Amino acid sequence: MATVERLKELVEGVTARAGYSSSIGTRVLEVRRGEVTMALDRRSDLQQVHGQFHGGVIAGLADHAAGAAVTTAFPEGKFAVTVDLHVNFLAPALGDSLIARAKALRVGGTIGVSHVDVYSVCAGKEEICAVITATMRAVDFPGTEPARHFKI
Amino acid sequence: MATVERLKELVEGVTARAGYSSSIGTRVLEVRRGEVTMALDRRSDLQQVHGQFHGGVIAGLADHAAGAAVTTAFPEGKFAVTVDLHVNFLAPALGDSLIARAKALRVGGTIGVSHVDVYSVCAGKEEICAVITATMRAVDFPGTEPARHFKI
Amino acid sequence: MATVERLKELVEGVTARAGYSSSIGTRVLEVRRGEVTMALDRRSDLQQVHGQFHGGVIAGLADHAAGAAVTTAFPEGKFAVTVDLHVNFLAPALGDSLIARAKALRVGGTIGVSHVDVYSVCAGKEEICAVITATMRAVDFPGTEPARHFKI
Amino acid sequence: MATVERLKELVEGVTARAGYSSSIGTRVLEVRRGEVTMALDRRSDLQQVHGQFHGGVIAGLADHAAGAAVTTAFPEGKFAVTVDLHVNFLAPALGDSLIARAKALRVGGTIGVSHVDVYSVCAGKEEICAVITATMRAVDFPGTEPARHFKI
């Protein structure tokens, strides 16, 4: 069974490889089996028209964190892809950064469910801005070639 | 009542202003009252680890299109912000571009609901990759200053 | 491959066996592979406090119809159980009956997704009152003994 | 501002009046401002085909508890009706009873969001079987006549 260090390395590797996650500046803060915390900082290209973090960025960060939380709880060699994602936006995200805390609620051999709380952080103070649940399914861990053929 | 030309101008204006929407390359293809079609093209910074469009990009494009569809159906001067967003991912989005077709299902004075179909387009052929529903609420149309204080 | 008659028999059999579905008066109107229509009639024990059909009844009918739509599209011998269910309530359901039209959007070997439109029917006129998406997973078709051990 | 006793009386009154909630045997266990716990006991007419509580019953109980949690946190005279409901089913509900613990996450003047954990209770042991989020909107508190005209 993978150690916590190996799990963190795995999550950081995927986060760095994935074009979108790295391009929006995702940082991996903490990784335990079934629990992952990620963050990203405010940039003008991540905002919507009111100056808040865009809902797509909140959804994308949560999705990525949820996938990591479930992947670390799946059998080794399996990787979580999202089947569905539900986001409740609770407050405008006007902070300097976002923190997503993802926790796997239930993980089986082929399906996992994760809950994510996303906080807007302003001057060090966290305010919850969204809650997310994601249903994930297991596929083989991505190799160096894109797996172009899987379907649900 | 606003003409279709005025509605399209309004949606294009918001899309161009919003940092995230313009930074991911959102193009406004069609605008009618309650119906909006948007698209964006593949770029390496929008992909996840399997080479598909990232779920956050799909969610973000759908959210933006849903907001536009509901905004054009709200009473004039009102702007749709997302209360919640539900995405079902149906197939990997491996195409050259994404098209989101958003339609307002029901719009009242303060709440609107939109359905969005997102297609992955490969060599001109559309394949549905996600279906989304978004619940929106009306706030005052954004002026030049960010509206920092609204809450649900 | 099962004929349409066999599929309808299968869906009617499950609907009659299931305590909840039969107790709320579920009627099977139409069954095709991946498409199922069900209905139920107004009764005082199915209402909420404003005299509408209760949200739980709408959700339950939609869930049952979605499961049937996906089950008829799964490989033979497989049965759909719900992983998650998302309901958008669009209008109060004040009609004499409810009709749920479920359609499988995508069905693989282990997971299926269904969309359901639920209509409130008043004096023969249908008005949409809710849209639902359900994610389902395949388990073995239920025998005469309850399958007490599956987990996601 | 209403006392806890008055809030409990209000929730019990609505639960007793509502045909569906009382017909499935809903019991109100605890009421605080923004937090409500409800339960119901196993009956054959609440089961699905594997002998579990039907998803519609879980959704209905959660919906009712969520509505109560948000109603007790809304301004006095306002009543929560469901805009949308999202249920993740985590494990089969094979217990003797269900307990739903609903908590309002955020409540404004017109919209409230609630999270609900539903547990299957078997021989006194609680196991989580579903997590739910519900988005609610405020309408006037129901009088003795059904309010037939509100729309979103």
Q: Is the pLDDT score of D145 beyond 70?
A: no
Tell me which chain C residues have a C-beta less than 8 angstroms from the C-beta of A151: 106, 108
Summarised one tens digit per residue, pLDDT across range B6-38 is 999 999 998 988 799 999 999 999 999 999 999
Burial class of C33 by CB neighbour count within 10 A (0 to 12, 13 to 18, 19+)? middle
Contact C59 D87 (CB under 8 A): yes
Structure tokens at D24: 């499935």
Residue type, C25: G
Contact B135 C88 (CB under 8 A): yes
**How far is D104 from D68, CA to CA, in rounded Å?**
9
Tell me which chain B residues have a C-beta less than 8 angstroms from the C-beta of C133: 86, 88, 131, 133
Confidence grade of residue B143 (pLDDT, cut at 50, 70, 90): low
Summarised one tens digit per residue, pLDDT across range D42-86 is 999 999 888 999 999 999 999 999 999 999 999 988 999 999 999
| Count of CB atoms situated within 10 Å of the CB of A73 | 24
Closest by CA to C36, choosing from C132, C105, C102, is: C102
Given the DSSP bridges, would you call strands A111-122 and C35-41 parallel, antiparallel or unpaired? unpaired
Contact B83 A88 (CB under 8 A): yes
Cβ-contact C14, C55 below 8 angstroms? no
Cβ-contact A99, A79 below 8 angstroms? no
Return the residue in A84, A103, A105, A116 with the most chain D beta carbons within 10 A, the one to mutate for interface testing. Answer: A105
**How far is A138 from B109, CA to CA, in rounded Å?**
42
Predicted pLDDT of residue C49: 85
Return the C-alpha torsion angle B53, B50, A137, D63, nearest 10: -20
Per-residue pLDDT in tens (0 to 9) along chain A, 152 residues: 568 899 999 999 989 887 999 999 999 999 999 999 999 999 999 998 889 999 999 999 999 999 999 999 999 889 999 999 999 999 999 999 999 999 999 999 899 999 999 999 999 999 999 999 999 999 988 764 444 333 44
Predicted pLDDT of residue C144: 45
**How far is A81 from C18, CA to CA, in rounded Å?**
33
Tell me which chain C residues have a C-beta less than 8 angstroms from the C-beta of D151: 91-92
**Interface ipTM:** 0.91
Contact D135 B86 (CB under 8 A): no
- Which subunits count as partners of chain B given 3+ CB pairs below 8 Å? A, C, D
Rounded to two decimals, the pTM is: 0.92
Cβ-contact D115, D124 below 8 angstroms? no
First vs last Cα of chain A: how many Å apart?
A: 28
Tell me which chain C residues have a C-beta less than 8 angstroms from the C-beta of B86: 86, 133
Average pLDDT value for residue range D3-19: 89
Predicted pLDDT of residue B84: 96
Contact B128 C135 (CB under 8 A): no
Predicted pLDDT of residue D146: 42
- Which subunits count as partners of chain A given 3+ CB pairs below 8 Å? B, C, D
Cβ-contact C35, C112 below 8 angstroms? no
Cβ-contact B50, A146 below 8 angstroms? yes
DSSP string, chain A: ---HHHHHHHHHHHHHHSHHHHHTT-EEEEEETTEEEEEEE--GGGB-TTSSBPHHHHHHHHHHHHHHHHHTTSPTTEEEEEEEEEEEE-S---SSEEEEEEEEEEE-SSEEEEEEEEEEEETTEEEEEEEEEEEEEEEEPP-SS-------
CATH code for the structural domain at A4-140: 3.10.129.10
Say which residue, D67 or B151, is predicted with more confidence: D67
Structure tokens at A72: 């670390």
Structure tokens at D116: 């609900």
Contacts of D55 (CB under 8 A, 6+ apart): C59, C60, C63, C82, C85, D48, D87, D89
Contacts of A6 (CB under 8 A, 6+ apart): none
Domain ranges of chain C: 4-140
Predicted pLDDT of residue A149: 37
- Which subunits count as partners of chain D given 3+ CB pairs below 8 Å? A, B, C
- Per CB distance under 8 Å, which residues of C are interface residues toward A? 83-84, 86, 106-108, 110-113, 133, 135, 137, 151-152
Determine what percent of chain D is predicted with pLDDT higher than 90.
Answer: 81
**How far is A95 from C22, CA to CA, in rounded Å?**
51
Burial class of B12 by CB neighbour count within 10 A (0 to 12, 13 to 18, 19+)? middle
Predicted pLDDT of residue A120: 98
Determine what percent of chain B is predicted with pLDDT higher than 70.
Answer: 92
Confidence grade of residue B69 (pLDDT, cut at 50, 70, 90): very high
Residue type, C45: D
Low-confidence spans in chain C with pLDDT less than 50: 144-152
Q: Is the pLDDT score of B49 beyond 70?
A: yes
Angle at B16 between CA B10 and CA B18, to 5 degrees: 100
Closest by CA to A55, choosing from B57, B45, C133, B88, is: B57
